[in-house]
Amino acid sequence: RQLPSFDELPNFNNFTGCAWEVWGRDDQLGTINLLTEDVVKQAATEEIKTGKTVCLNWPINFPAKPVFDRQPPRHEVVPKALPFKIVNDDIIHINTQSGTQWDGLKHFGIAEHGVFYQNTPPEAFQTGHIVIPGPDNIDPELIKLGIHNWAQHGICGRGIFLDLVKYYTDTQGDIPYDPWTTHGIPVKDLEACAQHEGVTFRQGDILLLRVGFMRKWNVVSQPERDALSGKPETFAGIEQSEDMKRFLWDNHFAAVASDQPALEHWPPPPGVPHLHCTLLGLWGMPIGEFFDLEALSKQCAETGRYTFFFSSWPLNVLGGVASPPNAAAYF
């Protein structure tokens, strides 16, 4: 399907590139619409060659002290007193924003205009404890724009990996920034990295970017890791610019994820709205954060292959805001 270019999309007030009409005003999938049966089949046929698989999720336990003032994950193993049996259960409490995650369409709206994807006002979402006892009790309005839409569709297709850490190391000796400080990666570096790896983009690709957060996290001391929580957060990531929006939309990626706490460098430049507003609020594009791309980097460097079949099945939480991705690469 031929999609409009970024410059052909209408504006929404002062925001360029509003895609609310692209899949119809009732749409709740956003750019996941690009993952058609043909796209999934082509990716599986062309990419799964050896059977090698690579996990892309951090353990749910990490980070034990989350950034952006979020509640830490909590895991309890609970022995059950059943007669003649030895049995354990798990109880897990997580803020779905604390570790490896997809941000869903209820996560981030366009604050200055008070709306989420498809012009949905925040009052449309019930907050607090949500109980849905059975399939007869599902109110479509109550679960509107929930993560279950992606969970029931799946986020599967061709994954394409831009290993910026390797690209900068190969061409400049190391990355030219500290990934734990704000630094915007420009479009020209993403394109140069793709060229260095010999990959070209295709409509419906799932783009993964290795910026360096996790490489650093893995080698510093635990007190340094823990100290990230509660600091004024600053992180590297893709540049927050009109050029970046044009790059992401015009390549028609289905989803984009990185190893950083936010995909974009944080905080955004003064007066510039966070790119989350456009990706989630205007396009319905999943944003992946804290993806563990270290093993993927090794696998791609060893084989020279930077494309693969990508599979992710978010948690099927009716009306959920975000989810761990349960993501893997298949070679």
Binding site for ligand UVW (CB under 6 A): 68, 97, 103, 262, 266, 274, 276, 289
Which residue lies nearer to ligand UVW by CB, 97 or 258?
97
| Residue with token string 């990185």 | 258
Task: Give residue number: closest CB to ligand UVW.
Answer: 262
Tell me how far, at minimum, the Cβ of 257 lies from ligand UVW, in Å: 11
Which residue lies nearer to ligand UVW by CB, 233 or 250?
233
- 325: Cα separation from own chain's centroid: 8
Q: Quick check: 313 and 40 in contact, CB under 8 A?
A: no
Q: HEC states along 36-50?
A: CHHHHHHHHHHHCCC
Tell me how far, at minimum, the Cβ of 235 lies from ligand UVW, in Å: 8
| Residue with token string 């190893």 | 259
Kindly write down the DSSP assignment for every residue of 3-64, as one continuous string: PPPGGGSPPBTTBS---TTTT-TT--SGGGGG--HHHHHHHHHHH-SS--EEE----TT--S
Which residue lies nearer to ligand UVW by CB, 39 or 285?
285
Tell me how far, at minimum, the Cβ of 196 lies from ligand UVW, in Å: 28
Which residue lies nearer to ligand UVW by CB, 116 or 266?
266
Which residue lies nearer to ligand UVW by CB, 166 or 274?
274
Tell me how far, at minimum, the Cβ of 260 lies from ligand UVW, in Å: 9
| DSSP letter assigned to residue 307 | E
Q: Widest CA span of the chain, in angstroms?
A: 68
Tell me how far, at minimum, the Cβ of 307 lies from ligand UVW, in Å: 26
Tell me how far, at minimum, the Cβ of 125 lies from ligand UVW, in Å: 16
The phi, psi pair for 127, rounded to 5°, reads -110, 175
Half-sphere exposure of 157 (CA within 13 A, CB side): 25
| Residue with token string 């990706």 | 279
**Residues 6+ positions from 166 with CB-CB distance below 8 Å:** 210, 297, 301
Tell me how far, at minimum, the Cβ of 73 lies from ligand UVW, in Å: 14
Which residue lies nearer to ligand UVW by CB, 158 or 274?
274
Which residue lies nearer to ligand UVW by CB, 277 or 300?
277
